[in-house]
C-alpha cells in the first residue's frame, strides 16, 4: 500500500500540471488569507473605535429629560468574528450596526455588499471559496487517471496479476492522492494560522481554537469525500477522458449550480415579505391606540391596589414613566411577533438549504464553514437579540428613573450619573457546541456523504479484479 502511495506521489510531483495547479492554489490561498486578514483587521478596528465613540457620546450628553436621552440613542456595532477572515458568510449582506433608540427596533444598517461594484458582487476571494471550489478541482485533476490511466496503459492488469490486493491498491491510490493534496493543504494551513496569529491585537486566540479545529476537520472530511468520489469514477470509467468529463461535470454542478439552485428553492419554499410589506404590517399594529389605552387602564388599577389608594394622584410615583415603559413593552411584543416571524422564515430557508445538502457535498460544508466562522444567520440572529435586549434595558433604566424621581407636571432633567447606569454594550460569540448544534443537519449530511463516497469507491473498485 505504501509502495503504491509513494509511486503515486512521485508521478504526481513529476507532472507539470500538478506543479502549476499547486502553485495556483497556494497563491490563491495566500491571497485570500491576506485579504481576509486585512479586511478583518480594518473592520474590527473601525467597529471598536466607533463603539467607543458612541459610548463616549452617550456618557457626555448634556443634562436632559431621560426620555430625550432614550431618543438620543446609540449604535451597537456587530463585532467581527476572527474566523470571518476564512469565511465572510452572510456578513456583507446583513449590515454591521443597529441604531438603538426609544420605541423602535431598527434594522441593521451599512451593508458592505451595497457598496460593491457588479464585478465585486459576482465573486469574493475568500479562503472558504478556495477550499470549497478550487481545491476540489485540484483533486479531480490529480486523481482522474488513478485507475482509468492505469487501465489505458495496460499496467492495471499487470499490477493485479502480480497478486496486489485490490484493497491495498485502492488504499495506496487514496493515500497517494491525499499525500499530494497535503503538499498543498499544509502550507495553506500554515498561512491561515499565521493570518490568525496576526490578529492578536484584538484579543487572544484561545476562544477561536476549538472553532478553527472543527473547521479544519470538516474541510478534511469534505476533501476525503471528493477523493473517494474521484477514485470511484476513475475505477468505473473505461478511459481517462471519460473519467475527466464525468468528474468535471460533477465539480461544476457541486461548486456552481447546486448552491444557487438550493438558495432559490429555499426562498421559493419559504418566501419572505418585502421590506415595505413588513414595515407596513408592523406600523399598522403599532398604531392601534385602543390596545394601549386598555393596558394603561389596567396598569393604573394595579398601582392603586398596590399602594392601597383610590386615586392616581395619591400614587407616590410618576405615572408618566410607567406609561412610557408600558408603551415600550407593548411595542416590544409587536416587534417580537413581526421580527420573530420574519426570522423564523429565514431559519426555515436556512434549514431547507442545509437539507439540500442531500444533492451535493458542498452544501453541508458551506453551512458548517459559515457556522464555525460565526458568519451564518444563526449567529447574526443571536447578535440581533443581544443588541435588542440591550436597547430594551436602556429604556427600562430611563423610564424607571422618570417614574421614581420626576414629579407630574414639573420639568425634570437627569445627568451623567444616570447615563453611567447604562452598562457598556458587550457581546461574545457563542461557543463551538452552540454553533455545531445550529448546523446539526449539515454535520450529519457531510458524514453521510463521506461514508457513501467511500462505499461507492469500494464498490467501484471491486470490479478491478475482473477487468
Question: What proportion of the chain, given as a percentage, has pLDDT over 90?
Answer: 41
Rounded to an integer, what distance in angstroms lies between the CA atom of residue 147 and that of residue 156? 7
Query: For residue 315, is pLDDT > 60?
Result: yes
Q: What is the pLDDT of residue 423?
A: 93
Query: For residue 447, is pLDDT > 50?
Result: yes
Burial of 25 (0-12, 13-18, 19+ CB in 10 A): buried
Question: What proportion of the chain, given as a percentage, has pLDDT over 70?
Answer: 95
Average the pLDDT over 193-206 and give the result: 80
Q: What is the pLDDT of residue 120?
A: 42
Rounded to an integer, what distance in angstroms lies between the CA atom of residue 351 and that of residue 134? 26
Average the pLDDT over 201-219 and give the result: 86
**Confidence label for 464 from pLDDT (cuts 50, 70 and 90):** low
Average the pLDDT over 250-269 and give the result: 92
Average the pLDDT over 387-402 and give the result: 94
Length, in residues, of the chain: 467
Q: What is the pLDDT of residue 63?
A: 92
Closest Cα partner for 227 from 175, 160, 192, 186? 175
Q: What is the pLDDT of residue 303?
A: 86
Q: What is the pLDDT of residue 123?
A: 47
Rounded to an integer, what distance in angstroms lies between the CA atom of residue 447 and that of residue 276? 42
Question: What Cα–Cα distance (Å) separates residue 256 from each residue in 74, 118, 132, 238, 276?
Answer: 41, 18, 10, 27, 32
Task: Name the one residue in this structure whose C-alpha cell is 406600523.
Answer: 283
Question: What Cα–Cα distance (Å) separates residue 326 from each residue in 67, 206, 294, 298, 380?
Answer: 13, 43, 11, 11, 28
- Taking a C-beta distance cutoff of 8 angstroms, is the pair 235, 461 a contact? yes
Please state the pTM of the whole predicted model.
0.88
Strand partners, 97: 77, 109
Least confident of 153-157, 339-343, 405-409: 153-157
Q: What is the pLDDT of residue 437?
A: 92
Query: For residue 451, is pLDDT > 90?
Result: yes
Q: What is the pLDDT of residue 121?
A: 41
Closest Cα partner for 345 from 264, 259, 260, 271? 271
Q: What is the pLDDT of residue 119?
A: 39
Q: What is the pLDDT of residue 254?
A: 92
Higher pLDDT, 432 or 173: 432
Task: Name the one residue in this structure whose C-alpha cell is 451597537.
Answer: 76
Q: For residue 140, give the C-alpha cell.
A: 479531480
Q: What is the pLDDT of residue 241?
A: 92
Average the pLDDT over 377-404 and give the result: 93
pLDDT tens for 55-96 read 999 999 999 999 999 988 889 988 888 888 889 888 888 888
DSSP conformation letters of 344-394: HHHHHHHHHHHHGGGS-THHHHHHHHHHHHT-SHHHHHHHHHHHHHHHHHH
pLDDT tens for 101-156 read 998 888 876 666 555 544 344 446 788 888 899 899 888 988 888 888 878 877 77
Q: What is the pLDDT of residue 117?
A: 44
Amino acid at each position: 500500500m505504501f509502495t503504491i502511495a509513494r509511486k503515486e506521489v512521485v508521478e504526481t510531483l513529476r507532472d507539470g500540471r500538478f506543479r502549476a495547479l499547486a502553485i495556483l492554489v497556494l497563491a490563491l490561498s495566500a491571497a485570500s488569507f491576506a485579504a481576509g486578514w486585512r479586511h478583518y483587521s480594518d473592520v474590527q478596528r473601525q467597529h471598536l473605535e466607533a463603539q467607543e465613540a458612541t459610548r463616549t457620546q452617550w456618557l457626555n450628553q448634556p443634562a436632559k429629560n431621560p426620555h430625550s436621552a432614550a431618543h438620543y440613542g446609540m449604535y451597537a456595532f456587530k463585532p467581527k468574528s476572527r474566523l470571518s477572515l476564512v469565511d465572510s458568510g452572510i456578513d456583507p449582506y446583513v449590515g454591521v450596526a443597529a441604531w438603538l433608540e426609544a420605541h423602535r427596533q431598527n434594522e441593521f444598517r451599512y451593508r458592505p455588499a451595497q457598496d460593491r461594484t457588479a464585478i465585486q458582487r459576482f465573486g469574493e476571494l475568500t479562503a472558504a471559496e478556495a477550499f470549497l471550489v478550487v481545491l476540489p478541482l485540484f483533486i479531480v485533476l490529480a486523481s482522474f487517471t488513478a485507475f482509468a490511466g492505469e487501465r489505458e496503459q495496460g499496467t492495471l492488469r499487470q499490477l493485479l496479476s502480480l497478486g496486489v490486493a485490490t484493497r491495498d491498491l485502492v488504499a495506496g491510490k487514496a493515500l497517494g492522492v491525499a499525500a499530494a493534496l497535503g503538499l498543498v493543504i499544509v502550507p495553506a494551513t500554515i498561512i491561515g494560522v499565521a493570518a490568525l496569529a496576526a490578529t492578536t491585537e484584538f484579543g487572544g486566540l484561545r476562544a477561536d481554537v476549538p472553532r478553527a479545529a472543527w473547521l479544519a476537520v470538516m474541510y478534511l472530511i469534505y476533501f476525503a469525500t471528493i477523493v473517494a468520489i474521484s477514485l470511484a469514477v476513475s475505477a468505473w470509467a473505461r478511459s481517462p477522458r471519460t473519467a475527466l468529463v464525468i468528474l468535471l461535470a460533477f465539480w461544476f454542478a457541486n461548486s456552481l449550480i447546486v448552491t444557487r439552485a438550493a438558495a432559490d428553492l429555499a426562498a421559493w419554499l419559504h418566501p419572505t415579505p418585502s421590506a415595505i410589506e413588513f414595515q407596513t404590517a408592523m406600523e399598522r399594529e403599532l398604531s392601534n391606540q385602543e390596545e394601549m389605552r386598555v393596558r394603561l387602564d389596567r396598569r393604573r388599577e394595579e398601582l392603586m391596589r398596590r399602594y392601597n389608594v383610590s386615586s392616581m394622584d395619591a400614587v407616590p410615583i410618576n405615572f408618566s414613566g410607567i406609561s412610557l415603559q408600558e408603551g415600550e413593552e407593548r411595542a416590544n411584543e409587536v416587534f417580537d411577533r413581526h421580527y420573530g416571524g420574519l426570522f423564523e422564515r429565514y431559519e426555515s430557508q436556512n434549514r431547507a438549504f442545509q437539507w439540500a445538502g442531500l444533492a451535493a457535498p458542498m452544501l453541508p460544508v458551506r453551512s458548517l464553514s459559515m457556522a464555525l466562522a460565526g458568519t451564518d444567520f444563526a449567529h447574526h440572529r443571536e447578535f440581533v437579540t443581544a443588541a435588542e435586549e440591550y436597547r430594551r434595558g436602556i429604556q427600562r433604566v430611563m423610564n424607571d428613573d422618570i417614574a421614581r424621581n420626576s414629579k407630574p407636571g414639573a420639568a425634570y432633567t437627569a445627568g451623567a450619573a444616570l447615563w453611567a447606569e447604562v452598562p457598556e454594550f458587550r457581546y461574545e460569540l457563542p461557543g463551538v457546541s452552540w454553533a455545531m448544534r445550529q448546523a446539526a443537519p449539515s454535520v450529519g449530511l457531510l458524514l453521510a456523504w463521506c461514508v457513501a463516497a467511500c462505499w461507492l469507491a469500494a464498490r467501484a473498485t471491486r470490479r478491478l479484479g475482473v477487468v
